[in-house]
Amino acid sequence: MSVGFELQQTDNGLALVWLDEPRFQPLIIDFHKGKSAYRAQHSALKSEAIARAVGITGKRQPSVIDATAGLARDAMVMAGFGCQVLLIERQPYVRALLNDALARAQAKSDAIGEAAKRLNLLDVSSINEVEHNAADVVYLDPMYPKTGKRKAQVKKDMQMFQQLVGSDLDADDLLQPALSVARYRVVVKRPNSAPFLNGNEPNQQLTSKKHRFDIYINQGFDK
Ligand SMILES: C[S@@+](CC[C@H](N)C(=O)[O-])C[C@H]1O[C@@H](n2cnc3c(N)ncnc32)[C@H](O)[C@@H]1O
């Protein structure tokens, strides 16, 4: 149960409704719409910091476990570059929205539908339930508490999402299991001002305007 929220079936797909805030539009994940649809189809490897952080090249598409899947926007970008991405999400309403969105997207045979077919939602709620060396890369993007100016800038659908999932205050616990599951590397997306996950300094960093990717390397890619 998620207090104050309800899932409703609509003509456009399963929708999350914020009962206390009726001025907010219901949230539906639609991989065919919005910025991430565009990014999944048109992004160039060089211009997507996430692709460089994960180690995607023209010849290499690492398998990825996205252990904090959320709305799977980042996962869709990685799948758009050809990666097989296994998704883990612990919030039951978000899992339901993802399942519904994946089924709708995978039913289409266009480029987004083909990318969506490379996304699979795992039937577990934690990276702790995944075997050692199960993927080339583990990707983490836990929620980080938003404050002050940044809070005001957050878009309405994200405000609703943040209210539902909370602040992921146990995020530090993700790093060690992620390092055990990743053959090559763990990539952590963080706001630029956030401390390192679990206080662990990464081997490499890539920064962009809004956030950075901290890269923890178990071993270099074979090729
Ligand atoms: C910031 S969102 C991820 C957004 C995602 N990268 C995207 O592009 O849409 C974080 C998500 O991770 C989930 N989460 C946080 N900690 C988790 C954990 N330990 N195990 C599984 N899911 C977790 C939260 O419920 C939330 O949906």
pLDDT in tens, 20-44: 888 889 999 999 998 777 777 777 7
pLDDT higher for 148 or 72?
72
Other Cβ atoms less than 10 A from the Cβ of 71: the count is 20
> Pocket around ligand 1: residues whose beta carbon is below 6 Å from it?
67-68, 70-74, 88-91, 94, 125-126, 141-143, 165, 168, 174
- Give a yes or no: residue 127 inside a domain: yes
Chain segment 140-175, per-residue pLDDT in tens = 999 987 665 555 556 777 888 999 999 899 999 999
Q: Is the pLDDT of residue 12 over 80?
A: yes
Of 16, 33, 89, best ligand 1 pocket probe by most atoms within 8 Å of the beta carbon = 89
End-to-end distance of the chain based on CA atoms, in angstroms? 46
CATH number at residue 38: 3.40.50.150
Domain that holds residue 66: 29-217
- Give a yes or no: residue 2 inside a domain: no
- Give a yes or no: residue 20 inside a domain: no
Q: What is the CA radius of gyration of the chain?
A: 17
**Residue 39, annotated as binding a ligand:** no
Q: How far is the CA of 143 from the centre of ligand 1 (A)?
A: 6
**Residue 136, annotated as binding a ligand:** no
Domain count, the chain: 1
**Residue 74, annotated as binding a ligand:** yes
- Report the pLDDT value the prediction gives residue 156, as an integer from 0 to 100: 76
| Pairwise CA distance, residues 70 & 88, whole Å | 9
Biggest CA–CA distance in the chain, Å, is 52
Burial 5-14 (b: 16+ CB within 10 A, else e): beeeeeeebb
The minimum-distance atom of ligand 1 relative to the CA of 89 is: 22
- Give a yes or no: residue 6 inside a domain: no
Question: In 3-state terms, what secondary structure has residue 206?
Answer: strand
- Give a yes or no: residue 160 inside a domain: yes
What percent of the chain has a predicted confidence (pLDDT) above 70? Answer: 96
- Report the pLDDT value the prediction gives residue 36, as an integer from 0 to 100: 72
